[in-house]
Amino acid sequence: MSVRPISPSDLPACTHVFMAAYNGMPWNYQWSEPDALQYLTEYTESRHFIGFVVLDGDRVAGAMFARYRTWWNNKQIYVDELFISPDAQGKGLGKQLISHAEAYCLDNNIEMITLMTNKFMPAMKFYENLDFIKVDQFAFLFKQV
């Protein structure tokens, strides 16, 4: 198992892993391949994109799509997506991605990693076990139009 920066040639593999992770239990989304590829590509085209893939052998088994942000009191990366192939979950690959992101932050004078997840899904416990702190005073809002 190893972690390296995402390259453009990784996007098809990342798309397939993303769909496998989110179209199945417990998320049950309905991503099509074109939409998932477009969604991930939009992140990579961001000027402040930071991304890593985790390999299981020579196969992309998961990825982190994030971006660099300046906040009033620090520099941070915001994790937009972190996903692991269902057949590779439970092997420590997600933890390896987070550890790699932490090392990246230390090397680049970035003080914080932030993210959002569904508090009712297993991902919440995963992040809490890695010392992420739930911040109750923030709310995620949306409006259907």
Q: What is the DSSP string of 113-124?
A: EEE---TTSHHH
The predicted pLDDT at position 87 comes to 95
* The pLDDT value given to residue 82: 97
pTM of the entire structure?
0.93
* 118 occurs within a structural domain: yes
What is the distance between the alpha carbons of residues 29 and 116, in angstroms, rounded to a whole number? Answer: 17
Is position 143 within any domain? Answer: no
The DSSP output letter for 74 is E
Report yes or no on 85 lying in a domain: yes
pLDDT for 142 equals 83
Residue carrying the six token digits 């991503």: 31
The whole-number pLDDT of residue 1 equals 84
Residue 66 included in any domain: yes
Asked whether residue 145 is assigned to any structural domain, the reply reads no
Query: Is residue 142 one of the residues assigned to a domain?
Result: no
Tell the residue number behind the tokens 């508090």, with chain if given.
119
- Total domains in the chain come to 1
| pLDDT (0 to 100) of residue 136 | 86
Residue 28's domain comprises 2-129
Q: pLDDT tens per residue, the chain (145 residues)?
A: 899 999 999 999 999 999 999 999 999 999 999 999 999 999 999 999 999 999 999 999 999 999 999 999 999 999 999 999 999 999 999 999 999 999 999 999 999 999 999 888 999 999 999 999 999 888 888 888 9
**Angle, vertex CA 40, rays to CA 83 and CA 51, nearest 5:** 65
Residue in the structure block whose two tokens are 């992140």: 43
- CATH number for position 6: 3.40.630.30
In a domain? residue 55: yes
pLDDT confidence of residue 109: 96
What does the pLDDT read at residue 139? 81
Distance from chain centroid for Cα 6? 12
pLDDT score of 23: 97
Residue 144 lies in a domain: no
